[in-house]
């Protein structure tokens, strides 16, 4: 560098070459412009590549056009055929045998497949004969379709005999597609949800309903790890706590309806002694730690209900399956779902503050406990009251209610989000509100059907 300065009298860094080699401070003045140009060029190249690929990809419209071209080249103009009226029994079905014979000339004798042209014309023949002989679903439709398939088989065999080729073994008949009419319904979407079949055993009515009430409560006391959570001194599992509170609310209303309505002939009848004690024990506060503890009294509720089941089996207890015995239970469940619908959709607390993230999942899991326990009990109610519901044409209604509750049971997020309704993130409370509202509607509809 010193030699360069002595010879030229200038600093080496002042030369244009060295200035170009020096990095620009802060990324350079033209860096944003280059980035923008690079992004635009990249997007344009991607668009051109996708457009070029799309030109070589077959489309459904192109396939349809190809099939129409094959039919036109077979010697019949489709537009002329559509323009001619069908009179005197001359229609497309009369031309199909000759067309089929022409098609068989190009068939490989060793192949068991039918060309696409023959299959299309045969389908058109079956559709025309179906229009002449009757609507879809009639007996004439099956006769026409099988006759067309027999004709195709005979044509293939005759073509092989003419060429001297041995006749291949007979293959299963070809099932031709039959077009659906506008009156046909989608059986898959219209199939009602049937969670349980009607009771076919000799067990007395009432046992299934009582055992379902025992099941949902006993699962939280003995089936769940750590047992009953709402009365724990240290609350670290708020989700399970609120879930169990929802189960408890359903169990209380079910036990009350069982003691006051289902096991009595009317308001003047005496209470069943076991159900009266069970109704009292289950009303103990859920947060009671001792004197008495909630778990001990709820277990006594289960013991009294089991005693009632044993008495039903021996015939010393009664259970009535009239509509006026069932309606109070359905009405209490409808009111409980109405409260769940409110807490799932509200955005403000009673004091005017916004529903917090931690409070949102409490409402969510409380509702989950309600709908899952209600689903189990209503399935048992459907079994015990099946004849009553069938007489009032309400079996399908309760099946729709059970289907809605089942949809709510399937909503099991890892994290309960409470985002805005227009956000890309989920609002699980609103998602759960839909099945709850549908179940509530069908319970109200069933109450009106049973009341008339």
> Degrees (nearest 5) of the Cα angle 80, 145, 129?
40
Residues 211 and 140 reside in one and the same domain: no
Give the pLDDT confidence score for residue 40 in this predicted structure. 87
| 73 falls within a domain | no
| 86 falls within a domain | no
Q: Has residue 137 got a pLDDT over 50?
A: no
CA proximity to 408, closest of 441, 365, 379? 365
Q: Has residue 208 got a pLDDT over 80?
A: yes
The predicted model gives 380-399 an average pLDDT of: 96
Q: Has residue 288 got a pLDDT over 50?
A: yes
- Average pLDDT across the chain, whole number: 75
In the block, tokens 């030699």 appear at 3
Question: What's the CA gap between 249 and 282, in Å, rounded?
Answer: 10
Give the pLDDT confidence score for residue 452 in this predicted structure. 86
Give the pLDDT confidence score for residue 66 in this predicted structure. 40
Question: What's the CA gap between 160 and 317, in Å, rounded?
Answer: 79
Structural domain boundaries enclosing 98: 93-177
Residues 248 and 397 reside in one and the same domain: yes
User: Cα-flanking dihedrals φ and ψ of residue 418, to 5°?
Assistant: -130, 55
Give the pLDDT confidence score for residue 91 in this predicted structure. 42
- Of 130, 158, 177, which residue sits at a domain end? 177
| 43 falls within a domain | no
Give the pLDDT confidence score for residue 146 in this predicted structure. 46
Give the pLDDT confidence score for residue 57 in this predicted structure. 52
Residues 133 and 269 reside in one and the same domain: no
Q: Assess contact for 108 and 159: CB atoms under 8 A.
A: no
Residues 228 and 280 reside in one and the same domain: yes
| 23 falls within a domain | no
| 112 falls within a domain | yes
Which segment of 87-96, 151-160, 321-330, 389-398 scores lowest on mean pLDDT? 87-96
Question: Residues 198-227, buried b or exposed e (16+ Cβ, 10 A)?
Answer: ebeeeebbbbbbbbbbbebbbebbeeeeee
Residues 120 and 212 reside in one and the same domain: no
The predicted model gives 176-185 an average pLDDT of: 39
Residues 229 and 154 reside in one and the same domain: no
Question: What's the CA gap between 101 and 78, in Å, rounded?
Answer: 19
Residues 241 and 127 reside in one and the same domain: no
The predicted model gives 72-76 an average pLDDT of: 43
DSSP assigned state of 315: T
Give the pLDDT confidence score for residue 110 in this predicted structure. 45
Q: Assess contact for 222 and 406: CB atoms under 8 A.
A: no
Confidence of residue 426 (pLDDT cuts 50, 70, 90): very high
User: Cα-flanking dihedrals φ and ψ of residue 80, to 5°?
Assistant: -70, -35
Respond yes or no on whether the N-terminal peptide bond of residue 295 is cis (omega within 30° of 0): no
Q: What percent of the chain has pLDDT over 90?
A: 50
Torsion, Cα of 420, 424, 425, 426 (10° steps): 70
Give the pLDDT confidence score for residue 228 in this predicted structure. 94
Residues 173 and 282 reside in one and the same domain: no
In the block, tokens 């192109």 appear at 62
CA proximity to 104, closest of 71, 145, 70, 152? 152
Which segment of 173-187, 374-388, 429-443 scores lowest on mean pLDDT? 173-187
Confidence of residue 379 (pLDDT cuts 50, 70, 90): very high
Question: What's the CA gap between 117 and 114, in Å, rounded?
Answer: 8
Confidence of residue 205 (pLDDT cuts 50, 70, 90): very high
Residues 438 and 390 reside in one and the same domain: yes
Among the ranges 60-74, 81-95, 197-211, which has the highest mean pLDDT value?
Answer: 197-211
| 192 falls within a domain | no
Strand partners, 427: 418
Give the pLDDT confidence score for residue 47 in this predicted structure. 76
Q: Has residue 139 got a pLDDT over 50?
A: no
Residues 431 and 350 reside in one and the same domain: yes
Cα 301 to Cα 124, 210, 212, 246, 298, distances in angstroms: 70, 12, 13, 17, 5
| 237 falls within a domain | yes
Q: Has residue 372 got a pLDDT over 90?
A: yes
Instruction: Give 214-262 pLDDT, tens digit per residue.
Output: 999 999 999 998 899 999 988 888 999 999 999 999 999 999 999 999 9
Which segment of 52-61, 374-383, 427-436 scores lowest on mean pLDDT? 52-61
Strand partners, 354: 348
Question: What's the CA gap between 195 and 208, in Å, rounded?
Answer: 14
Q: How many domains does the chain have?
A: 2
| 49 falls within a domain | no
Q: What are all long-range contacts of 98-106, with beta carbons under 8 Å and residues at least 24 apart?
A: 99/74, 100/151, 100/152, 100/155, 101/155, 102/74, 102/75, 104/155, 104/156, 104/158, 104/159, 105/159
Q: Which residue has the higher pLDDT, 434 or 75?
A: 434
Residues 98 and 229 reside in one and the same domain: no
Residues 269 and 228 reside in one and the same domain: yes
Question: What's the CA gap between 247 and 377, in Å, rounded?
Answer: 11
């Amino acid at each position: 560098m010193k030699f360069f300065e002595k010879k030229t009298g200038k600093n080496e860094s002042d030369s244009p070459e060295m200035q170009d080699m020096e990095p620009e401070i802060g990324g350079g003045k033209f860096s944003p412009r280059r980035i923008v140009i690079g992004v635009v060029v990249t997007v344009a190249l991607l668009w051109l590549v996708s457009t070029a690929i799309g030109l070589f990809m077959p489309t459904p419209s192109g396939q349809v056009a190809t099939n129409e071209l094959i039919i036109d080249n077979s010697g019949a103009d489709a537009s002329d055929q559509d323009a001619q009226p069908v009179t005197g029994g001359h229609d497309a079905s009369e031309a199909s045998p000759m067309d089929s014979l022409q098609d068989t000339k190009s068939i490989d004798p060793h192949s068991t497949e039918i060309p696409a042209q023959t299959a299309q014309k045969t389908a058109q023949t079956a559709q025309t004969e179906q229009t002449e002989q009757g609507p879809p679903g009639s007996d004439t439709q099956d006769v026409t379709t099988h006759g067309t398939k027999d004709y195709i088989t005979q044509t293939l065999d005759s073509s092989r005999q003419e060429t001297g080729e041995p006749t291949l073994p007979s293959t299963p008949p070809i099932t031709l597609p039959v077009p659906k009419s506008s009156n046909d319904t989608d059986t898959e979407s219209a199939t009602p949800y049937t969670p349980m079949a009607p009771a076919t055993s000799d067990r007395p009515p009432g046992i299934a309903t009582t055992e379902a009430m025992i099941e949902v409560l006993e699962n939280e006391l003995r089936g769940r790890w750590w047992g009953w959570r709402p009365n724990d001194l240290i609350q670290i599992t708020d989700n399970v706590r609120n879930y169990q509170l929802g189960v408890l609310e359903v169990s209380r209303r079910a036990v009350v309806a069982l003691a006051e309505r289902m096991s009595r002939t009317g308001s003047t009848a005496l209470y069943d002694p076991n159900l009266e004690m069970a109704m009292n024990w289950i009303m103990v506060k859920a947060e009671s730690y001792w004197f008495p503890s909630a778990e001990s009294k709820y277990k006594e509720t289960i013991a009294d209900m089991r005693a009632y089941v044993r008495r039903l089996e021996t015939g010393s207890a009664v259970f009535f399956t009239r509509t006026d015995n069932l309606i109070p239970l359905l009405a209490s469940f409808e009111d409980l779902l109405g409260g769940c619908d409110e807490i799932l959709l509200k955005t403000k607390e009673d004091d005017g503050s916004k529903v917090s993230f931690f409070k949102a999942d409490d409402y969510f899991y409380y509702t989950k406990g309600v709908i899952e326990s209600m689903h189990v009990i209503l399935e048992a109610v459907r079994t015990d009251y099946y004849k009553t519901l069938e007489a009032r044409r309400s079996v399908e209604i309760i099946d729709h209610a059970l289907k809605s509750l089942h949809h709510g049971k399937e909503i099991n997020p890892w994290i309960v989000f409470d985002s805005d309704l227009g956000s890309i993130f989920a609002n699980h409370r609103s998602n759960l509100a839909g099945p709850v509202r549908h179940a509530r509607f069908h319970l109200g509809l069933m109450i009106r059907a049973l009341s008339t």
